[in-house]
Structures are given as C-alpha cells and as structure tokens.
Structure 1
C-alpha cells in the first residue's frame, strides 16, 4: 500500500495535481510569450521552453495552440473580472461609485500588467469563430460588471435595447483601452477612468430612465 501511494505521489502532489500544475505553467508561459512576440508568432516550442516543460506535456493539456490561447485569455479575464467585481462591491450601492471603482481597477491592471493586457486586448482578436465566441462571452460579463442589468431590462423589447446600450458602452471602453495601451499609457489612470466613465454614464442614465418609465 505504501509503495502504491508513493508511486502516485511526486513532490507532494498526485498525478492529477501535477497535470494541473503543468497546465498552469503553460498558461503562464503563454501569457509571457504572447505578451512579448504575439500569438501569431509564438510557437509551441517557445512556450514549452518558457514553461520548462517538454512538448509532450503541451498536448497533455491542449489540443492545439488555439486551445491554449483560449485558456490564457480565460485565465486573464477570469482574474480581472473577479477583481473588478470585488472593487465594485467595496464601493457600496451607488452605481456611479461602483462603475468608477470597476473601471479604476480595470485600467490600473492594464498598466501594471502589460503582457496580460496584450492578451486581453490584442491577441484575442481575429483568430477564429471559436475564439470570437469566447471573447463575446467575456465581454458580456464585462458589461454586466460595469452596468448590471435590471430584471426589467432582460425582458421583452427592453432586452434588445439594453444589449445595444451594453455593446456600445463596452465598445467605447475597449477602444479607449486599446489606444491607451498601444500608446504606452500617456494619460494617468484617473484621467482615462474619467473619460471611460463618461461613456458608461450614458448607459447608466438610459437604464435608469427605462426602469422608471416601466
């Protein structure tokens, strides 16, 4: 029994834990490599070298490079969304304060971590329909964090209008972020937040108007 247990454990981890650890190392390495050279130039070999793993371990976790890109994107976005949600919650119940808190966290992280920012903003675009679908799902979450939809806005004719408002709001914020990052952060975070918040405020105002008129 002891020898069987020893066979399953290595470095204090069982086989499943080791696979998960290797997968995370590949994701972290991919973010680094994508941030330096871009997804389209990055190779499996380069990512495995950065992760200090042989290429056979790549295919243990990922079917192809696109699958790793999606995993890296979801990893970056998942952490970012969690932090934005926490920042908004800490700001209290005022929608404007919550919006500014979430935006401040968002733009601060883009500046603090330029390589993940590149994955989030640049490398995910124009790859394939499957990648586009993942990006669209993430943008829906992003929109709901900035301006949470009410139950009324999710029903009937209001759902279509609310979606258009959300799409426009997210598009404005992403466009601002893209230019800001590509120009090497020329404005202070608080100035960029003020600009982005002005676009989002339109969505907030319209959402409130529709709620009051219902």
Structure 2
C-alpha cells in the first residue's frame, strides 16, 4: 500500500474501533490507548489520523448521521405522494435504521451528548439535515403548512431523539413500532389541516 492508503486504512480501523467502543463502554470510558489496541495501530498513528478522541467521535457521529439521512431521504422519496405517507415513511425509516444497530443508536442519541460541547456543531448540522428533509417535504403540501413549520419540525425531531434515547437506555426497551406510532401521532397533531 502507498503511504496514503496506509493512512486511510488506519483511519478506517480507528473509526470501526470507535464505533464499537464509543457505544460500549461509551465515550467517557474509552481511552486513546484502548482505541489503538482494538484498531491495531500505534498512538503515534492515531494522531496522524485524528487530533484527539473528540475529532474521532465527530467523524464517527457524522458517518452515522450521513448514513441515516440517506436512508430517510430515500424512504421519503419512495413513499406514496401524500404528506402523511411521506413523513410517516421518513419517521419509520429513521427509527428502523437507527435501531438496526444498537451502536449507531447509542452514538447518535446518547454518546454525542456525553462527548460534551465539542460536538454541539456536529449535532446542529445533523438536526439541520433532518429539518431540511422534512421542510422540503412539507413545503410541497402548502394546504398543510402551518406558519410555525420550522419550529414544529424542530420539536418533532427533538421528540424523536428523546424517544430513541429512551429506547437505548431503558431497562425494558419499548417496541420500535411504539416509537414510530408515538412520533407519527405527534406529527399528525402538529400538522392537522386547519388545526383539526
């Protein structure tokens, strides 16, 4: 391999190690040494790839978010052409994709908060990405678009995130179908025609 390929390989191994370790035992408990051991790279090689644990966490989080955004956008585009169907398909795909791998759900909804202020910008980018998909979807149905659409969508995304935090941390996890039903109910109440 070229030097560039070796660097890319080490970076990928560190990201895969972080994907597992940041989910369990979690970001605060995962040391650089432990990451390097699992990835089979030296501490020096770590710093050739990332400036620190926070930079690695951001890279892993961004990948989780990007993969989820793609899955949600695809589900919304493939749904029947009604606002309810498109948003419900988007919600269902978000929950299904996030919960398909506990590590992904843990990193996206719990560990990103435990990482602290350094990840605030990454979280804001993620929320903006999901907000954009929903706003573009809702804008195609002006008869269903209330004046405070942006705030309603932010509230729905916040509620969905809290539901997934509950799913990750609960001793007895709620069924993912219940998460979807609850989020869809919140959406329908928020976007009912003429406030019905």
Q: Partner of 1:124: helix, strand, or coil?
A: helix
Residue pair 2:135, 2:150 contacting (<8 A) in 1 also:
no
User: Aligned partners of 1:79 and 1:104: how far apart in 2?
Assistant: 15
Alignment of 1:18 with 2:14, yes or no, is: no
Residue pair 1:147, 1:203 contacting (<8 A) in 2 also:
no
Match for residue 150 of structure 1 among 117, 123, 139: 139
Residue pair 2:73, 2:90 contacting (<8 A) in 1 also:
yes
Structure 1: segments with no counterpart, 5+ residues: 1-9
Alignment of 1:33 with 2:11, yes or no, is: no
Residue pair 1:39, 1:123 contacting (<8 A) in 2 also:
yes
**Residue aligning to 2:186:** 199
User: Aligned partners of 2:57 and 2:38: how far apart in 1?
Assistant: 15
Match for residue 158 of structure 2 among 171, 193, 196: 171
CA apart distance, 1:190: 2.2
Within a 5 Å distance, the mapping from 1:62-211 to structure 2 comes to 62-125=50-113, 127-148=115-136, 150=139, 161-183=148-170, 186-205=173-192
CA apart distance, 1:187: 3.2
Q: Which TM-score applies when normalising by structure 1?
A: 0.79
Structure of higher CA gyration radius: 1
My pick for the range that moved more, 108-117 or 57-66, is 108-117
Residue pair 2:105, 2:164 contacting (<8 A) in 1 also:
no
CA distance 1:18–1:184, change in 2 (3 Å) = farther
Q: How many residues align?
A: 190
CA apart distance, 1:21: 2.3
CA apart distance, 1:24: 1.6
User: Aligned partners of 2:172 and 2:84: how far apart in 1?
Assistant: 24
Residue pair 2:77, 2:86 contacting (<8 A) in 1 also:
yes
CA apart distance, 1:126: 5.1
Q: Which TM-score applies when normalising by structure 2?
A: 0.85
Residue pair 2:54, 2:118 contacting (<8 A) in 1 also:
no
Task: Give the alignment's Cα RMSD to 1 decimal.
Answer: 2.4
CA apart distance, 1:184: 5.4
